[in-house]
Each structure stands twice: as structure tokens, then as C-alpha cells.
Amino acid sequence: MTTAHGQTLLVDHRGTTRLTPGQGAAMTDAITDGVELYWT
């Protein structure tokens, strides 16, 4: 998820992890490749 302040965060069973903008973009792009991501 990208916040209003431009931070990219991954929230999973291990907690919240800050990602680089590139990592966030790669996860978002993966959706078009058929990877299922669930945003909460």
C-alpha cells in the first residue's frame, strides 16, 4: 500500500514493513501478471 505521504508499506502476518518505491511498484505490477494480492 502507498500512503498519502508516499511511503510504501507491506502488511502481513509478520507485521508492517516499509518497502522502497521500486518494491511497491513491482508488487503492483505483479497484479497484471496474475499474482493475487489482497489489500486491507
CA quadruple 30, 21, 37, 1: dihedral positive or negative? negative
Which pLDDT value is given to residue 39? 63
Mean pLDDT of the chain: 82
Which pLDDT value is given to residue 16? 92
CA distance 3 to 32: 21
Share of the chain above pLDDT 90, in %: 10
| Contact present, 8 and 24 (Cβ < 8 Å) | yes
The pLDDT tens digits for 21-35 are 888 888 888 887 888
Q: Please state the pTM of the whole predicted model.
A: 0.59
